[in-house]
Structure 1
Amino acid sequence: MDSNEWKPSQSGRKKQDYGPKVNFKKHKLKVERFSGLPCFSHLLIDRMMQHPVLKDFLPVEQCNLDYRPEQGSAIDPHFDDWWLWGERLVSVNLLSETILSMSCDSEDFIQLHHTEMVCNAQSYDPVTGNSESIFNFNGDNTHCTGNDGVEMTSDIGQRPVPYKDVEVAIRMPRRSLIVLYGDARYKWKHGIYRQDINSRRICSTFRELSEEFSHGGKQEALGKELLDIALSFQGVPV
């Protein structure tokens, strides 16, 4: 990655984009400068697809972000776009561990208690092949697990509390992979606090196409063009 230029980004970050040029507000995109995903990601994506959650995952965009503590690097809690980008967000955490913080603005209530259960946020180690269910983000049955990968913090205790008073801290070890989908994608915001960047960290996030650009969608032809370019693995940062 460091053989290519890192461009300044927001909140003390630098970035490399491998994807189409997009105006999300106007719902417009250009493919002229898009040359595909980088060649070094081909093997990684093949290994991702060995995991059941990602067996049909076809990324059309990769964004590398460079976080450094001396730059005060962080990313505010946010939702990723869902006009162009689809259900699953896949991020690979490199060089150092960090904490992914999840928050929700809803005034609805949830019941907090500890349990182990299948959930819709998963961490995956692409080196060992081990996966770990992290957190169920669905409705009133939301739980926090008993492992040290998640903390739910609330000074109200174990009784119904508003979503907005709950924060989920997901530990992301070096060389781990996380997939956000379902409510973890569309209801909960994700971000990284400055205090959780202790040394240089690289995050590679991969995104798939939304239904509008997929088979049967209104812009299926454009989606196929984007996917063909992306999976040529001849890309340079745009």
Structure 2
Amino acid sequence: MMILSPERKCGCKGIRSCAICDNDNIHKDEGRQLFEFTFCPLCDMAVVERSTMSKEFHVHQGGFPFLDIEVIPNFINENEEVMLVEEIDKQTWVLSQSGRRKQDYGPKVNFKRQKVHIGGFYGLPAYSRFLITRYNDLIKESTSLHPEFIPVELCNLEYKSDRGACIVPHYDDSWLWGDRLVTVNLSGATYLTFTLPTTDVVDGINQEFQRVQSYVPNVSRGSFCVRVLLDRRSLVVVSGPARYIWQHEIRRTDITTRRIAMTFRELSSTFSPASGNMTDEQRFGQKLLEIASTYAHM
């Protein structure tokens, strides 16, 4: 385990903060009350009240379709969860922003400058291989048209309440990373919260709000959120508008025990190899795929 030096107790920079560096102010931004819709994985709806009935017999009052979120409960069993946590904790944790700690397996990336290189990437960790195999088996068995999921990056993030850990509303990169964000949730349950920005920071926000308002006319922009329950041992896939138009976050108040998120990312179309003449980005993507698929990181 990583030993924190007296000089550097947390990994926060700039406007980020945690319970270590700014305990008096970390909850100020969470004071804004939003009307909460809850995601129902049985019918892919953001609803006012989630039903506990079966898929064949359940109804909701108020809500709207919230597509491109897939939650698979009990994706792994208890023994597999114990094994994964043990394997993860054998490796060094590195301080990250907002009270988190992390482990990165993937290329070295500067997203602001859009620069990427192999760095010390030797492959995804061996303990993670069965997760990808199992997820791809589910894709094959389903009626969806999703292609095989081939990740080239794994980021393990640790959240603990005593560190005020969270992740603020954000968009994941779409220059290097592809459509699907696949996360396995370990050790503790939490909520993934989705919001629409109040300004048009990306294309499609106003159109998405108008779609929501067509189902729920009394909502106003910036007044509501969608909460997705992530039980321990579950898998969640975020793609499409949920990834590119809605921002997502993990709130400090939703971390009540230690939680580890294993998030896998695939290549964007810019870096995905193609037949025939390939661009420099596609050739680099091909190299990443070759390295990642070895699962050689022990």
Q: Is the 8 A contact 1:107 1:162 kept in 2?
A: no
Q: CA RMSD in A?
A: 2.1
Q: Could you tell me which residue of structure 2 aligns to residue 86 of structure 1?
A: 178
- Choose 194-203 or 52-61, whichever is displaced more: 52-61
2:194 and 2:152 mapped to 1: Cα distance?
25
- For residue 201 of structure 1, the aligned residue among 259, 262, 267 is 259
- Inter-CA distance 165–107: structure 2 relative to 1 (3 Å threshold): farther
2:177 and 2:102 mapped to 1: Cα distance?
18
* % identical aligned pairs: 45
The amino acid that maps onto 2:135 is M
Task: Report the Cα offset of residue 161 of structure 1.
Answer: 2.8
Q: Does 2:162 align with 1:70? A: yes
CA distance in 2, matches of 1:158, 1:209: 36
Which has the larger helix fraction? 2
Q: Which has the larger radius of gyration?
A: 2
Q: Which residue of 2 aligns with 1:28?
A: 115
Q: C-alpha offsets along residues 117-145 of structure 1, whole Å, 9 cap, x if unaligned?
A: xxxxxxxxxxxxxxxxxxxx9664449xx
TM-score, structure 2 normalization: 0.61
Q: Is the 8 A contact 1:18 1:34 kept in 2?
A: yes
Structure 1 Cα separation of the partners of residues 179 and 89 of structure 2: 30
Q: How does 1:156-195 map to 2 (within 5 A)?
A: 158-195=216-253
1:195 counterpart SS class: helix
Show the 5 A alignment for 1:130-149: 140-142=210-212
Pairwise CA distance, 1:163: 3.9
> Which consecutive residues of structure 2, in runs of 5 or more, have no partner in the other structure?
1-87, 201-206
Query: Would the aligned equivalents of 1:18 and 1:63 in 2 still touch at CA under 8 Å?
Result: yes
- How far is the alpha carbon of 1:235 from its aligned partner? 2.1
Give the secondary-structure state (helix, strand or coil) at the position aligned to 1:63: strand
Q: Matches of residues 209-220 of structure 1 in structure 2 within 5 Å?
A: 209-216=267-274, 218=279, 219-220=281-282
Aligned residues: 195
SS of equivalent residue, structure 1 residue 76: strand
**Structure 1 residue 215 displacement after superposition:** 2.7
Q: CA deviation at 1:99?
A: 0.5
Deviation of 1:162 after TM superposition, in Å, equals: 3.5
Higher relative contact order (CA 8 A, sep 6+): 1
Residue 49 of structure 1 is matched in structure 2 by 136
Q: Which runs of 5+ in 1 are unaligned?
A: 109-136, 144-156
Is the 1:48–1:55 contact (alpha carbons within 8 Å) kept by the matching residues of 2? no
Secondary structure of 1:48's match? helix
1:67 touches 1:197 (CA, 8 Å); kept in 2? yes
Matched to 2:237, the amino acid is: V
Looking at structure 2, the residues matched to 104 and 138 of structure 1 have their Cα atoms a distance apart, in angstroms, of 8
Per-residue deviation at 1:26? 1.0
